[in-house]
Amino acid sequence: RKEVEQDPGPFNVPEGATVAFNCTYSNSASQSFFWYRQDCRKEPKLLMSVYSSGNEDGRFTAQLNRASQYISLLIRDSKLSDSATYLCVVNKVEDTGRRALTFGSGTRLQVQP
């Protein structure tokens, strides 16, 4: 079983739609959680951190359920520019000091006019 699992998609949605991505992680020692965005053939960039209480940044809302080891990302009012791959990222700091960032394979979103 992968440490971080995501539905690969693609999710094809019309402009203005609301779309939700889910992610599950297997390591209960995980400490921090993030969503990164990756455009085709480009580097990942931080979209937002995910806090236990849930957090919102404009049209984006992230939720974390530690008990179920589940993370979600909701995008409201989708724009064409939201088309990208969204990576679920889970972090823990090991005893050695290593930042063990584990990346999901990503969920591809295609917003259509």
CA neighbor of 55 nearest in space, from 69, 79, 74:
74
Cβ proximity to other proteins: between 51 and 70 the closer is 51
Q: How far is the CB of 74 from other proteins (least distance, A)?
A: 19
Nearer to other proteins, 80 or 93 (CB): 93
CB of 104 to other proteins, least distance (A): 6
DSSP structural state of residue 52: T
Burial of residue 76 (number of CB atoms within 10 Å: 0-12, 13-18, 19+): middle
In the complex, the smallest distance separating the C-beta of residue 18 from other proteins, rounded to whole angstroms, is 25
Whether 11 contacts 18, CB under 8 Å:
no
Residues that bind other proteins in the complex, under the rule CB under 8 A: 4, 8, 31-32, 41-46, 49, 51, 87, 91-93, 96-101, 103-106
Reduced to 3 states, what is the DSSP secondary structure of residue 64?
A: strand
